[in-house]
Structure formats: structure tokens, C-alpha cells
Amino acid sequence: MSTERLTLACQKKGRLADGGFDLLKRAGVKLAYGRDQLLRRAENLPLDLMLIRDDDIPSFVSTGACDYGIVGENELYETMERSARLANLEVALKLGFARCKLKLAAPIDGDIKSVEDLQGRSVATSYPGLTAKFLKERGVEAEMVEMGGSVEVAPKVGVADAICDLVSTGATLEANGLAAFETVFESEAVLIRRKNNPSVIVEETAGLLVQRFEGVIASRQTKYILLNAPTDRIDEVRAILPGNDAPTVAPVVGREDVVAVHAVCTEEVFWSTLEKLKAVGARSILVMPIEKMMA
Ligand code: PRT
Ligand code: ZN
């Protein structure tokens, strides 16, 4: 029997680690306790996690030090922009967490309000590859000032005229007197791999993992709805149920005028949806999370 195991690169600590560990847990991966800071072994799958900084994940997967990795698209495409050696990487699955936008921003009271205003000016960023590519496509020439962190302070201290940085809520920009005027790149966490991995066993484990991840992602936005509805208003109830056109309709014992409706809804169920259901006579409405799904 072969002892080949899939090595998955994950961020050791941070936003990607939080989402990544949650996804693995929901996908049923049980991690053994270990003192080793670099490697964590899965107890129930031929899988090892390699815990490193997110910046290193694309090159670790590209060189074969790891088979797969969980990384932000921002980091993946920035490193691919800088190094042609990473062209052997591909996205196996979009994971739907750690969503953020790489945005151009400038002092709110300054004279830079659009991409064209950056002509001949300087931009501080940790993403010079993606930023320069975007500006080039727009025909704007600007100087890139590469920074490892605290990019948002650059205009204040006179290091650059504008910045290009990741934004999620926008609070950091606001706190530093900056206003965003353009989105350069939209990002979320992705599962990456090397193209044409020759190991059949690794690819088998990866196939299983991808199938489970897809189930977790699908079940996150899917809800199970139970309700009782007047028999003569069932068509109206069906029309309101989000993302479901074929609910199960069952009789209610002792009631000719009422039916029980069960439906899997693949779109978000809002309070307003429940209010509409109630308005057409639905009662005892329950909305429940779905723990696992497999098509
Ligand atoms: O140590 P290591 O290098 O592994 O960690 P890190 O500090 O590079 O990473 P971490 O955990 O901060 O971010 C990892 C990944 O999370 C990023 O590469 C993105 O793919 C994703 N992500 C999602 C974000 C954000 N949202 C985010 N808001 N990464 C960083 N930020 C920062 C941003 O740089 C800015 O400083 O948060 C600030 C802005 O947030 P708002 O909410 O004020 O807009
Ligand atoms: Zn990092």
C-alpha cells in the first residue's frame, strides 16, 4: 500500500486561516494534535496541512513542496504577475470566503479623484504587479512605491500621492482620510493546485476534498423551509419560495384545507420572504440550516 498523502498549504494565522480551518472542519477533516508548528496531520484522510505565511503559498504549490493550497486570489495573481514560473498553477475551486477588493484611493480633500489623475503621480501598494498592470491597461503611467504593510499611512507621511490596498468594510480608508475611486481587482479565497500532478492518489484525495468543499459551500447558502399553507393558495406560496420551484406538498392529518410544504431554497431567505409567505396564509414557518449536501 502506498503512503502517499496530499499536502495542503494553509495560512498559519490570519483571515485565511480562520476561514480555511472552518471549511476543513465542516468538510469532516479531523486534525490530529501535534507539536509540530509546520505540519498538521489529518486523522481520517491521507492529508497533511502545511502551515505557512499566505505570501509563500503560491510558490510552495508551484515548486511541489505542497500539492494544493488555500490562498487569496489577490496573493495568487500578484505573485503570478511577478514570476513566470508560477504559470503552472491553476484554481481548482473558489471558496467564497475572505472576500475583499483591491482599490485605488487618495486623500479625500486632494486633487486625485480618478484613474486619469494618477498620470505622473506615485502609488503606494503591496500589490505593485496587479496595480501596474491595471494602470497600464488604462494608459496611465504612475510610479509604484512598494510597501509591506501600513499602506494607508503613505499619503499622510508623504511617501506617495495615492494608495492601492485591500478593502473590506472601508473603515481603514475612512479612518485615514482616504476615499476609494476605483476597484482594481476583486478577490476571494481559492483552492489552488499545480497543473498535471502525476500522483493518482493525491488527485483522488483532492477529488474527495473538492466534492466535500462544494457541499459545504452549497449548504452555506441553502436553507430548508417547512410551513403549513392553505390548500387553495399553494401556487402563491410556490411563487414566493426563493430558488425552489418544486416543493414537497404533504397532507396534514385531519385538515382538508391545509397542506404541509417542505422546500430546499438555494437562495437567501429574508425576513421579507417570511412576511410575504404569511400574507398569503402560510403558518408555522420554520427556516433551518442544512448541515451537509451532496448532489
Ligand atoms: O502573516 P501572513 O502574511 O500570513 O498574513 P497577512 O497579514 O498577509 O494576511 P491577512 O490574514 O491579513 O490576510 C490574508 C488574506 O485575507 C488577504 O491576502 C486577502 O486575500 C484576505 N482579506 C480579506 C484581507 C482583507 N479582507 C482585509 N480587509 N486582507 C487584508 N485586509 C486588510 C487591508 O490590507 C487593510 O489594512 O484590512 C484592512 C482594511 O480592512 P477594512 O475592513 O477596514 O476595509
Ligand atoms: Zn501575507
- Report mean pLDDT in 10-residue bins for the chain, 295 residues: 82 96 96 85 96 97 97 97 95 97 98 98 98 98 97 98 98 98 98 91 94 93 93 95 86 95 88 95 95 82
Q: How far is CA 130 from CA 53, 123, 134, 165, 255, in A?
A: 20, 12, 6, 11, 63
Which pLDDT score is estimated for 36? 72
- 172 CA: nearest ligand 1 atom: 43
Which pLDDT score is estimated for 3? 63
Cβ contact 157:210 at 8 Å:
no
- 165 CA: nearest ligand 1 atom: 34
In the reported structure, the alpha carbon of residue 188 is separated from the centroid of ligand 1 by a whole-number distance in angstroms of 11
**Which domains, ranges and CATH numbers included, belong to the chain?**
6-98+188-219 (3.40.190.10), 100-186 (3.40.190.10), 222-289 (3.30.70.120)
Residue 56 Cβ inside 6 Å of ligand 1? The answer reads: no
Phi and psi based region of residue 13 (left: phi greater than 0; alpha: psi -120 to 50; beta: remaining): beta
Residue 98 Cβ inside 6 Å of ligand 1? The answer reads: yes
Which pLDDT score is estimated for 34? 78
In the reported structure, the alpha carbon of residue 122 is separated from the centroid of ligand 2 by a whole-number distance in angstroms of 23
Name the residue at shortest CA distance from atom 39 of ligand 1: 167
Query: Beta strand 122-125 with 143-146: parallel, antiparallel or unpaired?
Result: parallel
Which pLDDT score is estimated for 240? 93
Cβ contact 32:40 at 8 Å:
yes
Residues whose CB falls within 8 Å of the CB of residue 167, separated by 6 or more in sequence, listed in order: 100, 101, 102, 103, 105, 173, 180
Residue 72 Cβ inside 6 Å of ligand 1? The answer reads: yes
Residue 11 Cβ inside 6 Å of ligand 1? The answer reads: yes
In the reported structure, the alpha carbon of residue 217 is separated from the centroid of ligand 2 by a whole-number distance in angstroms of 24
pTM, two decimals, is 0.88
Which pLDDT score is estimated for 217? 92
Which pLDDT score is estimated for 1? 40
